[in-house]
Structure 1
Amino acid sequence: MPVIVAFNLAQLGITGYALWRGGGPERAVAALLLAASLATIATPTIDRVSYFTVFYAVMWIDLALFLGLAAVAAFADRFWPMWLAALQLVALGAHGVRAIDPTLWAAAYWLVTTKIAYPMLLLLFAGTWRHRRRLAAGLPEWSWSRGGRGDEGVYPS
C-alpha cells in the first residue's frame, strides 16, 4: 500500500507540474494520465485483481489512454509523446497477450500493465522540464505541428 500512495503522490506532483508549467502537449498528456488514473481507481473490483485473467475494465481504460496519447503524439510538436504512446501500446499489448495465452505468467502481466506507468511519468516530467528550459533560453516553442499555435510560438521576453 505505501508503494501505491508514493506512486499517486508522484503522479499528482508530476502531472500538476505539467499542468502548471507545461505547454499544450504536456497539459494534454497530464490530463489524460490523470483521467485514466481516476477511471482505474473508480473501476469496481471484486476483492483484488489476481492478474490470472484479463481485467477488461482496465483494458478499455488503457485503450482509451493509448488513443488519446496517440492523438497527442500525432499533432504535438514534440517527440516524447510518441514514446508515451509506444509505452502505453506495450501495456495494451500485455492485455491482448494475456487474453490469447492464459498460461502467461501472472507476474509478467502485472509487471507490464502496472510498472510501465513509472517511465511514462518520467517522460512527462522530462518533456515539461525541457519545454520550460527552451522557453527560458528564449527559443521559439510551438505546441502543435498542425493548426493553431496556441499561446506559444512567440519569443518570450
Structure 2
Amino acid sequence: MFAVDLITFALATWLALRSDRHWPMWFAGFCLVGVMTHLAVAAMPNFASLAYSLSQGFWAYPAMLSLALGTWNHQRLRRADMP
C-alpha cells in the first residue's frame, strides 16, 4: 500500500508542478499526508493500528474530492470555451 501511495504522490506532484491549475497541488498535498502516515508508522511500530487506519481512510476523501472538483471545473471551463 505504501508503494501505491508513493507512486500516486510522485505522479500527482509531477502533474502539479506542470499544471496551471490549483487542484493538482491540493491532490498532491493530500497524497503526501498519506505517505507521511506510512512513514510515521514505520518509525513508530507500536503506533495504534486504529489511528493508522483512520488517518489513511480520512485523507483519501479530501484527495478524491479535490480530484473530482478539479475534473468537474476543467470540464465546465472547456464547455464554456466551445462555440
Q: When the two structures are superposed, what TM-score results if normalisation uses the length of structure 1? A: 0.49
Describe the SS at the equivalent of 1:78. coil
The alignment status of 1:106 with 2:72, answered yes or no, reads: no
Contiguous gaps of at least 5 residues in structure 1: 1-57, 139-155
Q: CA offset at residue 112 of structure 1?
A: 1.7
Identity, in percent, stands at 36
Describe the SS at the equivalent of 1:137. helix
Query: Which protein shows a greater Rg?
Result: 1
Q: CA offset at residue 122 of structure 1?
A: 1.2
CA distance in 1, matches of 2:59, 2:15: 19
Q: CA offset at residue 77 of structure 1?
A: 1.7
1:95 partner amino acid: H
> What value does the CA root-mean-square deviation take over the aligned residues?
1.3
Contiguous gaps of at least 5 residues in structure 2: none
Residue aligning to 2:80: 137
Find runs of 4+ consecutive structure 1 residues off by over 2 angstroms. 135-138
Q: Which has the higher helix share?
A: 2
Residue aligning to 1:95: 38
Q: When the two structures are superposed, what TM-score results if normalisation uses the length of structure 2? A: 0.87
